Amino acid sequence: MSSASNLGRLYLASNNLSGNIPDSISNVSKLRVLDLEGNSFFGLIPDTLGNLRFLEILSLRSNHLTTKTSTHEWSFLNSLANCKHLKILDLSFNPLNGILPISISNLSTSLQQLRVIDCKIRGNIPMEIGSLSNAILLDLSSNKLSGPIPTAIRRLKNLQLLNLYGNKLQGSVPHDLCGLKGLYKLSLGANELDGPLPTCLCELTSLRYLYLFSNKLHSQIPLTFWSLKDILEVDLSSNNLRGSLPLDIGNLKVLISLNLSRNLLSSDIPSTIGSLHDLLVLNLSKNRLQGPIPKSLGDLISLKSLDLSNNNLSGVIPKSLENLYELNYFNVSFNRLQGEIPRGGPFLNFTAKSFMKNYALCGSPRLQVSPCKNKIHRKFKKIALHALRYVLPTFASIIIVVTVIIVYKKWQRGNMNLAMDKDLIPLKKWRRISYNQLLQGTGGFSRNNLLGSGSFGSVYKGILSDGTELAIKVFNLQIDGAFKSFDVECEVMSNILHRNLVKIITCCSTIDFKALVLEFMPKGSLEKWLYSYNYVLDILQRINVMIDVALALEYLHLGHPIPIIHCDLKPSNVLLDEDMVAHVGDFGIAKLLGEGDSIKQTMTLATIGYMAPVSKEGGDFGCYKSNLKREQRWLACCTHRSSHLVGGGGGGGGGVQI
């Protein structure tokens, strides 16, 4: 390994390698990325890893590595304290055993992601965890950790994802979590937590995913909880939560999954639940709910799964549920329902298991319920026969024709609505916006709302009925490459999350219409600010823009599990929000370097005058011919000029990928 002292990145993932990790790996002193994931390495993690002082990413995931069980300290963790640039550390799926040592506080304050999943560690989470002040992801799930969640967690102000699922943690859900204002996902399920739900959870305005299932929580759900208007998934199942569901549940407009099963909830199901139009999964089973099934559930046109079983619900099954054409799972068994089971829509596919132990229900014999008795028909049979004898044939014909026309029109309208609904392909975890909403919000894609045009289509400004401002990128499907560009942008943008990347809200795709719905950037593109005399950027703003773009590229290249190459970075693809924060967008020709792919690299050494400056010391060589022009455009950020081509570039560590 000493002959590769200039190596910058070493990827050996999933190569069936075995044996001990050699100490000689520390001779590669300039190594920044070391990925040994998915092999069969065993033995101790070498302390010599601490000699890799420039190390930024270390992944030892999915091997058979262990530690000395006779001590409470992991010696390799102490040595990693020398790696002052370490940002990502993944030790998951190794039988490390022992306890999580307090020496975790020695890790670099630059650490952003720490994953120690299913490593058979036990004991308490040390208070020293609070020293990782720049962490944005902490995943200690599927271990044997016990004791309370430490109050020091409040010091992780930048934390976006906290996963402690599948441990034996005790005590209450700490109020300290409410200070993590940037928290995006909180998973504390399958532990032994008790006490009430903190009322301050409503302060986590960035929260999108909340999983507290399979604990011992015992309180009412705080009324303030229902003010988390941007939350997408909530799972509070298998606890001892009591009380009623308030009308405020209708505030969660973008909710796609709600699981409150296996609790002690009582009273009626509020009718406002029908306003959750994006809801895909609703599970209220095994509670003490009573009263009727609200007719408003028929408004949940996106619903795929509905479970109301094992409650005390009464009354009839609303016929409005026949409108739920996407519904493929339905269970109202073990209630006190009565009347006829609806016959249309999704009810054609349900079996007897959906209606068990509701003795007053009636309907088709295949559902194993009693046949319905038509009392009205028997009562008026003779009167109807007598009346029909005197009905004028002409009048009867008119009635029949009118009825057929009305039924046909309704059937036609229903099919059109169904076809329109099926044309939409919403991303599971994002907001559903219909084509009609886009059409209305842009004034019929009016030129007055046109923000700009590109190689594959146009971008329009849109305003929804609730006042939300959006940018709608409509692809011109007549242009070669538009379909591929749409697919690439969907694949890339659905898997990235960073403050300096343009956020996708949803997408709309039909045979002849494809569009991306994006976050609206009111300050426009960087190109406008650089090359127009009507807009001026001071030196601090220019520096901030360059930092923002650099952070976005660092995330795409190194911070994402699958490296992404933008391939079209230029000022017109950098957008500015209200606070002049830069966001990189337009991934239409981006490249994903997935498993089996490799970055095109070279280790050329020759006369400096005969090669690009990037090869000076032997380095990465994955640039496109347009890079010099792009360097010129970025130089404009500081000089406000755009007419001269500028060279440059520097050497760096090389790379090997197997």
295 among annotated binding-site residues: no
Q: How does strand 194-195 pair with strand 168-169?
A: unpaired
In the numeric block, the tokens 């739900």 are attached to 197
d(CA 404, CA 190): 57
CA angle 313–318–321, rounded 5-degree value: 115
Residues 519-529, buried b or exposed e (16+ Cβ, 10 A)?
bbbebebbbbb
Cα 559 versus chain centre, distance: 16
**380 contact partners, CB below 8 Å, separation of at least 6:** none
* Secondary structure class of 619 (helix, strand, coil): coil
Q: What CA dihedral angle connects 603, 605, 609 and 612, to 10 degrees?
A: 0
Cα 181 versus chain centre, distance: 18
Strand boundaries in 559-599, DSSP class E: 564-565, 574-576, 582-584, 591-592
* Secondary structure class of 423 (helix, strand, coil): helix
DSSP code per residue over 483-512: HHHHHHHHHHHTT---TTBPPEEEEEE-SS
Helices 539-554 and 627-639, packing angle to 10 deg: 150
In the numeric block, the tokens 């441990």 are attached to 167
Single out the catalytic residue among 278, 568, 586, 620: 568
DSSP code per residue over 199-210: GGGGG-TT--EE
- Which of the 8 DSSP states describes residue 456? S
Q: Are 456 and 588 in contact (CB under 8 A)?
A: yes
Structure tokens at 428: 């599971």
Q: Are 618 and 604 in contact (CB under 8 A)?
A: yes
Partnered with residue 305 across adjacent β-strands are 281, 329
**Helix H or strand E encompassing 362:** strand 360-362
In the chain, the N- to C-terminal Cα span, in Å, equals 15
* Secondary structure class of 375 (helix, strand, coil): helix
Residue 5: CB atoms within 10 A of its CB come to 12
d(CA 277, CA 293): 17
* Secondary structure class of 347 (helix, strand, coil): helix
Give the side-chain half-sphere CA count within 13 A for 643: 0
568 included as an active-site residue:
yes
**652 contact partners, CB below 8 Å, separation of at least 6:** 8, 614, 617, 619, 620
Annotated binding site for ATP: 473
Annotated binding site: 473
Where in the sequence numbering do the catalytic residues fall? 568
